[in-house]
């Protein structure tokens, strides 16, 4: 049985999907997703993050591949640096996953066959 469709100022949408969103969708979460993108942009354009990844590569290259030291030894342990970078990336990934799920809820408004 085809879904009922209604017209909105932004195109036709499935009536049942719209009704579900009207009672449960918080549009503020879309603005939160913009904040997440701003944090991601800041993270990946910050020289510190890039430098930390390069330093981690150098450490790993030394201990995994037996390469010569490229970063001073005796400071931060490789697992400390990896853990800190992992936490930063996990947080962004979690927020991006939430944003994808949120946007998909709006994409589900598409009428059948669209």
Domain count, the chain: 1
Contact 14, 106 (CB under 8 A): no
Is 84 a member of any domain?
Answer: yes
Is 35 a member of any domain?
Answer: yes
Is 114 a member of any domain?
Answer: no
* Euclidean distance between CA atoms 102 and 32, whole angstroms: 11
pTM of the model: 0.78
**Which pLDDT value is given to residue 70?**
84
Is 91 a member of any domain?
Answer: yes
Is 113 a member of any domain?
Answer: no
Residue 1: which pLDDT band, with cuts at 50, 70 and 90?
low
Cα Rg of the chain (Å, integer): 22
Which range marks the domain in which residue 38 is found? 5-107
Q: What tens digit of pLDDT does each residue of 51-67 get?
A: 999 999 999 999 999 99
Is 24 a member of any domain?
Answer: yes
Spatial neighbors of 62 by CB under 8 A, at least 6 apart, are 68, 69, 70, 71
Is 68 a member of any domain?
Answer: yes
**Which pLDDT value is given to residue 73?**
84
Is 112 a member of any domain?
Answer: no
């Amino acid at each position: 049985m085809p879904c009922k469709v209604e017209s909105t100022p932004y195109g036709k949408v499935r009536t049942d999907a719209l009704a579900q969103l009207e009672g449960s969708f918080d549009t503020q979460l879309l603005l939160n997703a913009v904040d997440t993108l701003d944090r991601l942009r800041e993270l990946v354009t910050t020289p510190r993050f890039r430098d930390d990844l390069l330093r981690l590569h150098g450490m790993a290259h030394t201990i995994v591949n037996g390469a010569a030291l490229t970063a001073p030894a005796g400071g931060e342990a490789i697992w400390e640096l990896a853990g800190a970078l992992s936490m930063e990336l996990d947080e962004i990934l979690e927020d991006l996953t939430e944003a994808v799920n949120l946007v998909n809820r709006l994409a589900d408004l598409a009428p059948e066959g669209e």
